[in-house]
Amino acid sequence: MTHEASTVLSECAHTAGTYRKRDVAIVRGEGVWVYDEAGRKYLDAIGGIGANVLGHRHPYFSTELKSQIDLTLSVPELLCNNTRAEYQSALLSLFPPCYDRVFLCNGGAEANEAALKFARVLSQKTPLVALNFGYHGKTLGALSVTHNPKYREPFEPLYHPVHFLPQGNIERLNEVFDGDPPAAFIFEGVQGEGGVRTPESEYVKTVSHRVQEGGGYVIADEVQCGFGRTGRWWGFEAHGVEPDFVVLGKAIGNGVPLSAVVLHKRVGQLPPLAHTTTFGGNPLSCRAGLATIEVMKQESLVEQAAQRGEQFRHLLREARLSNVRELRGEGLMIGVELKERAGRYLAELQQEGVLALLAGPRVLRALPPYVISEDEMNFLAGRFIEVLRNEKN
Ligand SMILES: Cc1ncc(COP(=O)(O)O)c(C=O)c1O
């Protein structure tokens, strides 16, 4: 048995079993590339499921993390800390001045959980509104507003009531307001897990206004589509709304667990202890957040995400692949919808040296690091074209 096979077997034997693992054991990374135990090289278009934006082993990022380890790792939020204070300011500086406070935590679902609790306690209302195909995480509250019944049904009864709205459906929206007005409307600027779909701006605007008029709050879940991924800093910008809460995760820590809820000025004072978490705002994560923002600005990575995403789409359009139904997403949030099930192409891509994702049964998804070069994008798009051209129907 190879070393790699033994790592895969060992990990599969000891894991709790909630992941479908691939038969590859990654040992190290460099830029957009990762290497398995046998020394094979892959272009990492999984990118930590959207968390790895600066590539592996970015020198400035690594140096900054090491310097924080030499200072302190553990300063909970009941004490103040210079790195955290600096990070809060740096993060808020990426938003218009009407966003003035931030709650820090560790993962995307947890941050959505916090935002839902904030909306609920401030509005004193119960119902929640979400969009069909939305994904917000798998803790009980976040799961309640996640649309896919496959994830929700084994855990019902969940939070109640939650109204899921089909895109553009005003009748369903009116029905929601026939009952108690909602505490919150949660949406993704570009939906990720649900198939890389961009919601209709007019509908997002209409639902947001109705919910805010009724005394509820609007939550933009930017965990996957935020922080430059779409070639803009924020996914919600395209929809002409000003959310009350902006939820961030994944990319903001470049792989170090870090998430945040950013609060609009119009949001009132939260009750003390309304939500807390031991590791929230820890100095290591905050240092990671600061270094990530610094490199994003220095290397103009938001602009680069827009350009590289356009390059991918251009190359795929030119290839005129007969089994591609639609090219989805924006910037480096890449979805390729097929006319058939997409699963088998993941294995073929892996064989060709590319690690990619699915977003539902028919959509191949790529979330490469923003540092991907023009040549590396040619490689990525070329491998997609090659495997999709060799369809086996
Ligand atoms: C839009 C969105 N929200 C929330 C989450 C949950 O984040 P986490 O897996 O860090 O809990 C995800 C994860 O994919 C996501 O894409």
Per-residue pLDDT tens digits for 324-349: 999 999 999 999 999 999 999 999 99
pLDDT at 57 over 80: yes
The residues facing 129 across adjacent strands are 163, 185
Model confidence pLDDT, tens digit, residues 8-50: 999 999 999 999 999 999 999 999 999 999 999 999 999 999 9
Please check whether residue 62 lies inside any domain of the structure: no
* Domain identity same for 121 and 210: yes
* Domain identity same for 278 and 143: yes
Name, in order, each residue with C-beta under 8 angstroms of 87's C-beta and a sequence gap of 6 or more: 104, 281, 286, 287, 289, 290
Structural domain count, the chain: 2
Report yes or no: 362 and 340 within 8 Å, Cβ to Cβ. yes
Q: How far is the CA of 38 from the centre of ligand 1 (A)?
A: 31
Q: How far is the CA of 138 from the centre of ligand 1 (A)?
A: 8
Percent of the chain with pLDDT strictly greater than 90: 97
* Domain identity same for 80 and 203: yes
For residue 18, give the DSSP letter. Answer: -
Average pLDDT, the chain: 97
User: CA-to-CA distance for 379 and 287, rounded, in angstroms?
Assistant: 33
Please check whether residue 203 lies inside any domain of the structure: yes
For ligand 1, is residue 216 a contact (CB within 6 Å)? no
For ligand 1, is residue 244 a contact (CB within 6 Å)? no
**Token pair listed for 269:** 């004072």
Q: What is the DSSP string of 231-261?
A: SSS-GGGGGT---SEEEE-GGGGTTS--EEE
* Domain identity same for 284 and 312: no
Report yes or no: 131 and 167 within 8 Å, Cβ to Cβ. yes
* Domain identity same for 278 and 320: no
What region, left, alpha or beta, does residue 74 occupy, with left being phi > 0 and alpha being psi -120 to 50 degrees?
A: beta
pLDDT at 391 over 70: no
Q: How far is the CA of 131 from the centre of ligand 1 (A)?
A: 15
For ligand 1, atom 10, the nearest C-alpha belongs to 108
* Domain identity same for 220 and 200: yes
Model confidence pLDDT, tens digit, residues 195-233: 999 999 999 999 999 999 999 999 999 999 999 999 999
The residues facing 329 across adjacent strands are 334
The residues facing 34 across adjacent strands are 29, 42
* Domain identity same for 319 and 292: no
Over residues 269-283, mean pLDDT:
97
User: What is the reported pLDDT for 1?
Assistant: 73
Ligand 1, atom nearest to 107 Cα:
10
Location of structure tokens 């965990």: 223
For ligand 1, is residue 192 a contact (CB within 6 Å)? yes
Q: Which of 323, 340, 330 is nearest to 366 (CA)?
A: 330
* Domain identity same for 36 and 165: no
User: CA-to-CA distance for 2 and 6, rounded, in angstroms?
Assistant: 6
For ligand 1, is residue 68 a contact (CB within 6 Å)? no
User: What is the reported pLDDT for 230?
Assistant: 98
User: What is the reported pLDDT for 206?
Assistant: 98
Ligand 1, atom nearest to 49 Cα:
14
pLDDT at 79 over 70: yes
* Distance in angstroms between the alpha carbons of the first and the last residue of the chain: 34
For ligand 1, atom 13, the nearest C-alpha belongs to 137
* Domain identity same for 170 and 224: yes
What's the CATH number where 368 sits? 3.90.1150.10
User: What is the reported pLDDT for 392?
Assistant: 56
Q: Which of 223, 245, 256, 358 to mutate to test the pocket of ligand 1 (most atoms within 8 A of CB)?
A: 223
For residue 160, give the DSSP letter. Answer: S
Q: How far is the CA of 227 from the centre of ligand 1 (A)?
A: 14
User: What is the reported pLDDT for 2?
Assistant: 80
Please check whether residue 229 lies inside any domain of the structure: yes
User: What is the reported pLDDT for 393?
Assistant: 47
Location of structure tokens 């990319």: 251
Q: Which of 49, 106, 224, 285 to mutate to test the pocket of ligand 1 (most atoms within 8 A of CB)?
A: 224
For ligand 1, is residue 64 a contact (CB within 6 Å)? no
User: CA-to-CA distance for 110 and 251, rounded, in angstroms?
Assistant: 15
Model confidence pLDDT, tens digit, residues 347-390: 999 999 999 999 999 999 999 999 999 999 999 999 999 999 97
